[in-house]
């Protein structure tokens, strides 16, 4: 099992057979520890006894600066980084503050982030991984950890945010735009039939403008995001959970919710309002095509489309979109991190993420409708 780019900040190719055959070695010199031959899951069993005893040996010469050197080109994976984290923390507990050199930039950044995080709490003996699932308790714990990730963004990764934003926003634009266009087209056709009975086809533009700006634009974007993004988040994090990559993060002191989920949820909340703007614009264009086919000029359509809209409609719609994105991203990440064991666990997590995500933003939209009605917005 090779740890993914989310854990390591870069793709980790499997070591070559020649690298696997190189025997790992550890040499201790005054003020210097050199690691050679491999820091991988396959090599660590041969090296672990000396690594475990090293902090005790280093405590004998506390006044000398200490440098831990990894030979350039040494293959390294998540298990090797976890061993380095434990080695550095052990040296610090022994009164030495070592400097680690020789790692690639991505590995060095992950090691630095792990060392800056607080050590994992070992008081429960790791029971957190084996305790029975409790949906309400786990959901509140997830929300609390996510809030900490936003309030104290020490572990917030801008690179992960950028990747998730691109997947949730620009990559979904074609689908959201097409669905919005077709929805505006269909809505214009269906509303034109009864209005024609009263000779009021021109008011099709008014109906489409109010419906799209207030409701349909963000709903279309939310449905697309629930189907694409929530499922993708659940599949990614579910696979990492099943492969025990999240357990490896915890062993390095990196909470998976703050390290993996927070950038994804923030990206979904930022992408959905923009996605809704494109879907709404496409829906208005689709309605305009139908109105133009009725021999009304485009200028009349655009004038009527926004005649019933208020100044607060667009800000409220954008705020709703951000809340929908927050809910959809949070549900997708929570379902992924709570994936159980078994070959079909990831599939169940993906299905649950899509269903619960749709229910969550539909319920939130109902709450917004009631509040807007009460406040007269």
Mean pLDDT value across the chain = 79
Residue 28, helix vs strand vs coil: strand
Find the range with the poorest average confidence among 1-15, 151-165, 212-226. Answer: 1-15
Structural domain boundaries, residue 258: 144-375
Q: Which sign, positive or negative, has the C-alpha torsion 82, 341, 338, 348?
A: positive
The answer as to whether 207 is a domain residue is yes
What secondary structure letter does DSSP report for 22?
S
Higher pLDDT, 202 or 255: 255
Four-point Cα dihedral 337, 340, 346, 350, nearest 10: -60
- Based on the fold, state whether residues 368 and 229 are members of the same structural domain: yes
Give yes or no for residue 25 having a pLDDT over 50: yes
Q: How far apart are CA 340 and CA 336, in angstroms?
A: 9
Residue percentage of the chain with pLDDT more than 90: 28
Can you tell me the distance from the alpha carbon of 325 to that of 277, in angstroms, rounded to the nearest whole number? 14
> Which tokens in the block code for residue 317?
């719609």
Neighbours of 82 (CB within 10 A): 23
Q: Which of 11-20, 93-102, 163-172, 297-306 has the lowest mean pLDDT?
A: 11-20
Query: Measuring CA to CA, how many Å separate 219 from each of 75, 272, 280, 290, 342?
Result: 48, 10, 10, 22, 34
Can you give the CATH number for the domain in which 107 is found?
3.30.750
**Domain annotation covers residue 124:** no
Q: How far apart are CA 227 and CA 314, in angstroms?
A: 24
pLDDT at residue 22, rounded to an integer: 55
- The better pLDDT of the pair 5, 357 is held by 357
Question: Binning pLDDT at 50, 70 and 90, where does residue 117 land?
Answer: low
CA end-to-end span of the chain: 54
- Contact indicator for 261, 234 with CB cutoff of 8 Å: no
Residue found by looking up tokens 């359509």 in the block: 301
Burial category of 336 from C-beta neighbours within 10 Å (exposed 0-12, middle 13-18, buried 19 and up): buried
Measuring CA to CA, which residue among 254, 249, 176 is closest to residue 217? 176
Q: Are residues 263 and 339 in the same domain?
A: yes
Query: Where among 77, 99, 116 does a domain terminate?
Result: 116
Residue 158 C-alpha from the chain's centroid: 11
**Number of residues that this document lists for the chain:** 377
Same domain, 148 and 112: no
Tokens representing 32?
A: 């210097």
Domains in the chain, number: 2
Give the three-state DSSP class for 33: strand
The partner residues of 99 in beta bridges, in order of sequence, read 67
175 and 75 housed in the same domain: no
Report the range out of 104-108, 150-154, 229-233 with the highest average pLDDT: 229-233
Q: Is residue 129 in a domain?
A: no
Note whether 102 and 178 are same-domain residues. Answer: no
Average pLDDT over residues 159-178: 92
On whether residue 127 sits in a domain, the answer given is no
- 318 and 246 in a common domain: yes
In a domain, 292, yes or no: yes
Are 74 and 178 in a shared domain?
Answer: no
15-24, 28-37, 152-161, 181-190: the lowest-pLDDT one: 15-24
Whole-angstrom Cα distance, residue 363 to residue 219?
Answer: 12
CA distances to 62, 83, 309, 333 from 248, rounded to whole Å, are 30, 11, 52, 18
Q: Is the dihedral of CA 33, 38, 42, 46 positive or negative?
A: negative
| Inside any domain, residue 252 | yes
Q: Which two tokens stand for residue 223?
A: 């449905």
Distance, in Å, from the CA atom of 369 to the CA atom of 364, rounded to the nearest integer, reads: 9
Residue 222: CB partners within 8 Å, gap ≥ 6?
A: 272, 276, 321, 324, 325, 328, 358, 361
Percent above pLDDT 70 for the chain = 83
List, for residues 54-83, the tens digit of each pLDDT value: 766 666 666 667 778 787 777 777 777 777
Clarify whether residues 233 and 292 are in a common domain.
Answer: yes
Q: Which residues pair with 35 in a beta bridge?
A: 26, 70
- Confirm whether 123 is domain-assigned: no
Q: Judge if 203 and 339 occupy the same domain.
A: yes
pLDDT digits (tens, 9 = 90+) for 339-372: 877 768 888 999 999 999 999 999 999 999 899 8
Pair 96, 149 in one domain: no
Contacts of 104 (CB under 8 A, 6+ apart): 10, 76
Q: Determine the average pLDDT of the residues in 241-247.
A: 83
Q: What is the pLDDT of residue 152?
A: 73
Q: Are the C-beta atoms of residues 207 and 191 closer than 8 Å to each other? A: yes
pLDDT of 181 reads: 94
Residue 122 scores a pLDDT above 50: no
- The verdict on 241 and 334 lying in the same domain is yes
Whether the per-residue pLDDT at 247 is higher than 50: the answer is: yes
Start-end of H helices in the chain = 5-8, 17-21, 44-58, 78-93, 105-116, 135-151, 158-168, 173-196, 204-211, 217-225, 231-242, 245-251, 256, 262-293, 298-305, 313-337, 345-375
Residue 281 lies in a domain: yes
- 176 and 282 in a single domain? The answer is yes
């Amino acid at each position: 099992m090779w740890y993914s780019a989310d854990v390591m900040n870069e793709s980790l190719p499997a070591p070559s057979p020649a690298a696997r055959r190189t025997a790992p070695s550890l040499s201790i010199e005054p003020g210097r520890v050199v690691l050679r031959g491999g820091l991988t899951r396959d090599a660590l069993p041969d090296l672990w006894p000396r690594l475990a005893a090293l902090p005790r040996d280093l405590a004998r010469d506390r006044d000398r600066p200490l440098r831990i050197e990894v030979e350039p080109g040494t293959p390294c994976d998540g298990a090797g980084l976890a061993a380095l984290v434990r080695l550095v923390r052990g040296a610090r507990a022994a009164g030495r503050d070592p400097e680690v050199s020789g790692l690639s930039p991505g590995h060095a950044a992950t090691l630095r982030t792990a060392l800056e995080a607080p050590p994992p709490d070992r008081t429960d003996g790791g029971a957190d991984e084996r305790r029975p699932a409790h949906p309400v308790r786990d959901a509140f714990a997830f929300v609390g950890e996510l809030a900490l990730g936003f309030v104290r963004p020490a572990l917030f990764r801008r690179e992960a945010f950028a990747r998730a934003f691109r997947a949730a926003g620009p990559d979904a634009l074609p689908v959201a735009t097409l669905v919005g266009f077709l929805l505006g087209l269909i809505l214009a056709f269906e509303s034109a039939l009864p209005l024609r009975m009263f000779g009021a086809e021109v008011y099709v533009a008014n109906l489409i403008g109010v419906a799209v700006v207030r409701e349909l634009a963000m709903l279309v974007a939310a449905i697309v995001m629930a189907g694409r993004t929530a499922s993708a988040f659940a599949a990614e994090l579910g696979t990492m959970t099943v492969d025990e990559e999240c357990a490896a993060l915890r062993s390095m002191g990196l909470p998976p919710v703050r390290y993996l989920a927070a950038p994804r949820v923030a990206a979904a909340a930022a992408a959905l309002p923009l996605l809704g703007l494109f879907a709404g614009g496409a829906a208005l264009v689709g309605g305009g095509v139908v109105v133009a086919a009725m021999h009304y000029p485009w200028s009349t359509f655009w004038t009527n489309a926004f005649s019933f809209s208020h100044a607060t409609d667009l800000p409220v719609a954008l705020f709703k979109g951000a809340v929908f994105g927050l809910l959809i991203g949070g549900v997708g990440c929570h379902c992924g991190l709570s994936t159980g064991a078994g070959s079909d666990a990831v599939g169940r997590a993906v299905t649950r993420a899509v269903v619960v995500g749709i229910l969550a933003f539909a319920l939130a939209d109902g709450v917004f409708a009631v509040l807007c009605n009460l406040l007269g917005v």
